[in-house]
Amino acid sequence: MVRVEIRQSTDDTLLATVDSAPGGIAVSGPWERLLDRSPQLGLPSGRIVSAESDPDEWTRGLIAAFRSPDVAARIVHDDDPLPDGEPVDLRAAIAA
C-alpha cells in the first residue's frame, strides 16, 4: 500500500490523499473528483501504468506528476519504499 498526499505548496493545504489498493486507488479530499486517473509514469519502473494495472507504481508516480511551485505530492507511507541512494532518472524512463 502506498499513500501520497497532494498539498498546496503556499500554505500546505491538503488537496487530496491517494491510497493504492490491490484493485486500484482510492482518492479523498477536495480534489477527489478532479484528480486525473489516466495512465501515467510509474515509479520506480518508469513505465506508463494505469491505476488498475499497478496501483502502487501509479500512486508513487504522483510525486513526478505533481512537482510545481504551487502544488506538490509526497509519499507519506509506502510498504515497499523506493530504494535509497541512486535517484530515479525520469528522462531515461521517458526515452525508453
Interatomic CA distance for residues 57 and 20, integer angstroms: 9
Interatomic CA distance for residues 73 and 65, integer angstroms: 8
Q: Which residue has the cell 512537482?
A: 67
Number of domains in the chain: 1
Which domain covers residue 88, as residue numbers?
2-95
Cell numbers at 23, concatenated: 484493485
Could you list the pLDDT tens digit for every one of the 96 residues in the chain? 999 999 999 999 999 999 998 889 999 999 999 999 999 999 988 899 999 999 999 999 999 999 889 999 999 999 988 777 666 666 665 555
pTM score: 0.84
